[in-house]
């Protein structure tokens, strides 16, 4: 059992040693939980960032390895809860939007489909490519990153930017429409 004096977390050199010692082990552990090595790396890095940011206030009463294990486990569970909450919200919004569109009739739907197509065509090229690969080809961020030759974080940025621009350029709450009627937009 490795006990780390609280004061040693405050030095960058010691912190770096601890990071190098446990990072791969923690990534392996979180990959077993999630099944996604890229997600595991992101979550473990977030744990280390939080640890570094709170290094002056933290007290490790167990072994550092046990502390990190628990912190990564908690971060993974938090991620799962956030994903579930987001999926529930998207599902609710999807059904509400579907109901609203159905009530408006087919003529309004074709106008909205055209508006969405135009808004997508106005996206910056990389944003558009990442967005289409995600929403229409159903690729995961890791797969998009590989295909485009960019990092996963850059994919996230492109897709977030695309959603913001679409929301701004469509005068009705149609960014949700995109999530629902993907087959109509191809």
Out of 63, 80, 97, pick the residue that ends a domain.
Answer: 80
Same domain, 62 and 12: yes
Give yes or no: residues 118 and 181 share one domain.
yes
The per-residue pLDDT for 180 is: 47
State residue 177's pLDDT score: 58
Q: What CATH number corresponds to the domain at position 10? A: 1.10.1740
Among candidate residues 156, 139, 181, the one with its CA nearest the CA of residue 42: 156
Number of domains in the chain: 2
Can you read off the two tokens belonging to residue 173? 């709450």
Distance CA 42, CA 20 (A): 15
pLDDT < 70 regions, the chain? 1-9, 89-91, 93-109, 171-186
CATH assignment at residue 140: 1.10.10.10
Q: What is the pLDDT of residue 173?
A: 62
Tell me, what's the pLDDT at 150?
92
Helix (H, G, I), strand (E, B) or coil at 118: helix
CA angle 136, 137, 141 (to 5 degrees): 105
> Both 75 and 116 in a single domain?
no
* pLDDT computed for residue 2 by the predictor: 42
Structural domain including 123 reads 105-185
* Residues 15 and 49 occupy one common structural domain: yes
Reading the block at residue 185, the tokens are 């937009």
What distance in Å separates the CA atoms of residue 5 and residue 2, rounded to the nearest whole number? 10
pLDDT of residue 142: 86
The answer to whether 139 and 108 are in contact (CB under 8 A) is no
- For residues 113 and 65, what is the distance between their CA atoms, to the nearest angstrom? 53
> Quick one: 110 and 181 in the same domain?
yes
- pLDDT at residue 119, as a whole number: 85
Residues 14 and 72 placed together within one structural domain of the fold: yes
Residues 177, 111 within the same domain: yes
Query: Does 74 fall in a domain?
Result: yes
What does the pLDDT look like over 113-128, one tens digit per residue? 777 788 889 999 999 9
- Are 73 and 131 part of one and the same domain? no
> Is the residue at 95 inside a domain?
no
Residue 89 in domain: no
């Amino acid at each position: 059992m490795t006990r780390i004096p609280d004061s040693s977390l405050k030095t960058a050199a010691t912190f770096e040693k601890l990071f190098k010692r446990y990072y791969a082990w923690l990534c392996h552990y979180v990959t077993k939980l999630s099944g996604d090595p890229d997600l595991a790396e992101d979550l473990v890095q977030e744990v280390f960032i939080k640890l570094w940011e709170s290094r002056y206030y933290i007290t490790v009463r167990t072994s550092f390895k046990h502390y990190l294990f628990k912190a990564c486990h908690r971060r993974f569970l938090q991620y799962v809860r956030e994903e579930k909450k987001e999926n529930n919200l998207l599902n609710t919004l999807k059904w509400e939007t579907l109901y609203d569109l159905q009530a408006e009739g087919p003529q309004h739907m074709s106008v909205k489909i055209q508006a969405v197509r135009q808004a997508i065509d106005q996206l910056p090229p990389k944003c558009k490519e990442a967005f289409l690969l995600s929403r229409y080809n159903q690729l995961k961020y890791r797969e998009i990153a590989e295909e485009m030759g960019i990092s996963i974080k850059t994919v996230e940025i492109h897709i977030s930017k695309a959603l913001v621009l679409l929301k701004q350029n469509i005068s009705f709450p149609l960014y949700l429409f995109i999530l629902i009627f993907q087959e109509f937009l191809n």
